[in-house]
Amino acid sequence: MTTEQQVAKQEENRSVEGEAKPIQRQDVYLPATDIYERDDAIVLVADMPGVSEQDVDIHVENHVLTIKGTTARLDQAGDVLYSEFLPGRYERSFTLSNDIDSEGIKARMKNGVLTLELPKSAKARPRKIEVAAG
Amino acid sequence: MWPVINRFEHQLDPFAELNQLHRRMNRLFQSAMDHSAEFPPVNVRGTADEVVVSAELPGVDADKLDLTVEGRVLTLAGERSAGPQDEKWVVYRQERLSGSFMRTVRLPFEVDNDRIAARYENGILHVTLPRSESTKPRRIQISS
Report the alpha-carbon distance of residue B71 to residue A125 in Å, rounded. Answer: 58
A 75-114: CB under 8 A from B: 75, 77-85, 110-113
- ipTM above 0.85 for this complex: no
Cis check: omega of the bond before B40, within 30 degrees of 0: yes
- Smallest Cβ–Cβ distance between B43 and the set A32, A52, A74 belongs to A74
Nearest CA-CA partner of B62 in B107, B114, B118, B18: B118
pLDDT tens per residue, range B126-143: 999 999 988 888 888 899
Nearest CA-CA partner of B108 in B141, B137, B73, B84: B73
What is the H or E stretch that residue A83 is in? Answer: strand A79-83
Using alpha carbons, list the distances in angstroms from residue A38 to A64, B85, B87, B89. 20, 12, 10, 5
Report the alpha-carbon distance of residue B136 to residue A47 in Å, rounded. Answer: 39
Query: How many other CB atoms are there within 10 angstroms of residue A9's CB atom?
Result: 11
pLDDT tens per residue, range A87-127: 889 999 999 988 899 899 999 999 999 999 999 988 877 77
Give the per-residue pLDDT at A58.
Answer: 95
Chain A residue with the nearest C-alpha to that of B56: A49
pTM of the full structure: 0.72
In the β-sheet with A56-61, what is the strand arrangement from edge to edge? A27-29, A88-95, A64-70, A56-61
What is the H or E stretch that residue B125 is in? Answer: strand B124-130
Report the alpha-carbon distance of residue A51 to residue A73 in Å, rounded. Answer: 10
Q: Give the residue from B11, B29, B45 with the most A CB atoms within 10 Å of its CB, the best one to mutate.
A: B45
Lowest mean pLDDT among A46-55, A125-134, B20-29: B20-29
| B92 has a pLDDT exceeding 80 | yes
Contact call for residues A109 and A56 (beta carbons, < 8 A): yes
